[in-house]
Amino acid sequence: MKNQEINELNKKAEVFSKSVEKSIKEIKKVIVGQDVVLEKIMIALLADGHVLLEGLPGLAKTMIIKTLSDTIHGDFKRIQFTPDLLPSDIIGSEILDMKTSRFSIKKGPIFANFILADEINRAPPKVQSALLEAMQERQVTIAGQKFELMKPFLVLATQNPLESEGTYTLPEAQIDRFMFKINVEYPSKDEELEIIRRMTSSDIPKALKIIKPEDIIKMQKFCKEVYLDEKVMRYITDLVYATRQPQEYGLDIANLVEYGASPRASIWLALGAKAHAILQGRGYVIPEDVKAIAHDVMRHRIILTYEAEAEEISSDEIIDKILDTVLVP
């Protein structure tokens, strides 16, 4: 690609980066800390992917996506997943109007720009699959009729890592539908002090609307136009392939990995790296963009062996070894 074309991409990226920066600034008026989580969610939004958040209760997972929707002129819906939830409670159903004696379609909460699927692992697999199908196909079928979902469309699902009673583990094939799996950590002591100050005052801050939905769609379209060099593409391929054939890269982790990352990992590493480049105001990808999102893309796509679990080795540690070993172009 010529320098002139790269410069044009850089100019577009800078404009979009400033818009996203303004949105994040507004979110930070309400959300204290969680800077990394906010950045990763914005990357997923630009790459048109979905996010699975894992963290303990009370870490502002719900408030993050609600505040994000406040900064964008979009609709927000929260779905509380429970054991008695039905697929129709998510996508909608056909109902009989007693006055007209005719059937009509009642759309479910999935028809919104931003969906919070709270405690997704509390609902049975049939309900989980209804949501995940909508995520993948971007459409739902109600009484034989197909309905397109709104654009942009971001699902942010949460799950509590502590509770196991009354929960249904997401199957590997379904969890693979999420672009990112992000671990939400406790705030620091200073951040917790600021949370107390903000949330116990009479003037609770609110985020202003910054971006229009059509602007997000433009950013998502531009994300695919960001330049990805062949060398960086091969680097992404090497990272993913190293989870499947580690011995080819001199990695002694074959006994720790049952199944390596799927091809979706390669796709999301590429798109996520492009989105990360936009946030940095660049119209081209560098290896550091790939490294910045590697853990979030691959941690839920690497299936560990019983031996790894017995030794309490996490998928993040495996990814660290791969990033340290695979040659950077």
Q: Tell me the C-alpha distance between 239 and 76, whole Å.
A: 36
CA angle, residues 261, 35, 47, in degrees to nearest 5? 45
**pLDDT for the residue 243:** 93
- Are 159 and 55 in a shared domain? yes
Any domain includes 272: yes
| C-alpha angle 180-282-233 in degrees, rounded to nearest 5 | 60
Q: Report the b/e string of 249-286 with b at 16+ CB within 10 A.
A: bebebeebbeebbbebbbbbbbbbbbbbbbbebbbbbb
CB atoms within 10 A of CB 153: 21
pLDDT given for residue 166 in this prediction: 57
| pTM (global) more than 0.85 | yes
Shared-domain flag, residues 144 and 189: yes
Task: Assign 3-state DSSP to the chain and report helix, strand, coil percentages, each to 5.
Answer: 50, 15, 35
Is 82 inside a domain boundary?
A: yes
| CATH code: domain of residue 124 | 3.40.50.300
**Nearest Cα to Cα of residue 321 among 243, 223, 263, 266:** 243
Rounded Cα distance, 274 and 294, in Å: 13
What CATH number does residue 283 fall under?
A: 1.10.8.80
Q: Where are the alpha helices (DSSP H) in 140-188?
A: 172-175
pLDDT score, position 1: 67
Does 55 share its domain with 27? yes
Whole-number pLDDT of residue 167: 65
Tell me the C-alpha distance between 317 and 54, whole Å.
17
Q: Are residues 194 and 313 in the same domain?
A: no
Query: In whole angstroms, what is the distance from residue 309 CA to residue 213 CA?
Result: 43
> Is 18 contained in some domain?
no
Assigned domain for 11 exists? no
* Angle ∠(71,73,75) on CA atoms, nearest 5: 100
Q: Are residues 270 and 156 part of one domain?
A: no
Tell me how far apart the alpha carbons of residues 288 and 230 are, in angstroms, rounded to a whole number. Answer: 15
Q: Which of 212, 242, 257 is the last residue of a domain?
A: 212
Query: Which residue segment(s) compose the domain that 130 sits in?
Result: 23-212
| Cα–Cα distance, 74 to 70 (Å, whole number) | 7
pLDDT for residue 123: 80
* In contact, 258 and 304? CB cutoff 8 Å: yes
Residues 191 and 301 in one domain: no
266 shares a domain with 149 = no
The answer to whether position 321 is within a domain reads yes
Query: Are the C-beta atoms of residues 235 and 328 closer than 8 Å to each other?
Result: yes
Q: Tell me whether residue 17 is in a domain.
A: no
- 6 lies in a domain? no
Note whether 193 and 250 are same-domain residues: no
Judged by DSSP in three states, 171 sits in coil
Integer angstrom CA distances of residue 254 from 19, 74, 85, 99, 248: 44, 46, 40, 65, 11
SS3 call for 304: strand
Regarding whether 135 and 257 lie in a shared domain, the answer is no
Residues 202 and 68 in one domain: yes
Domain termination site, one of 183, 212, 241: 212
Q: Do 199 and 308 lie in a common domain? A: no
How far, in Å, CA of 159 to CA of 105, rounded? Answer: 31
Where a domain ends, among 212, 244, 259? 212
Question: How many Å apart are CA 131 and CA 134, to the nearest integer?
Answer: 5
Each of the 329 residues of the chain gets a pLDDT tens digit; together they read 677 888 888 899 999 999 889 888 888 888 888 888 889 999 999 999 999 988 777 777 778 888 888 888 888 888 888 888 888 888 888 887 777 778 778 888 899 888 888 888 888 778 877 887 788 888 888 877 888 888 889 999 888 765 555 566 777 777 888 999 998 888 888 888 888 888 787 777 788 888 888 899 999 999 999 999 999 999 999 999 999 999 998 888 888 888 889 899 999 999 999 999 999 999 999 999 999 999 999 999 998 989 988 888 889 999 999 999 999 98
Residue 263 resides in a domain: yes
pLDDT at 130: 80
Confidence (pLDDT) at 165: 58
55 shares its domain with 187? yes
Number of domains into which the chain is organized: 2
d(CA 51, CA 46): 12
d(CA 274, CA 277) in angstroms, rounded, equals 5
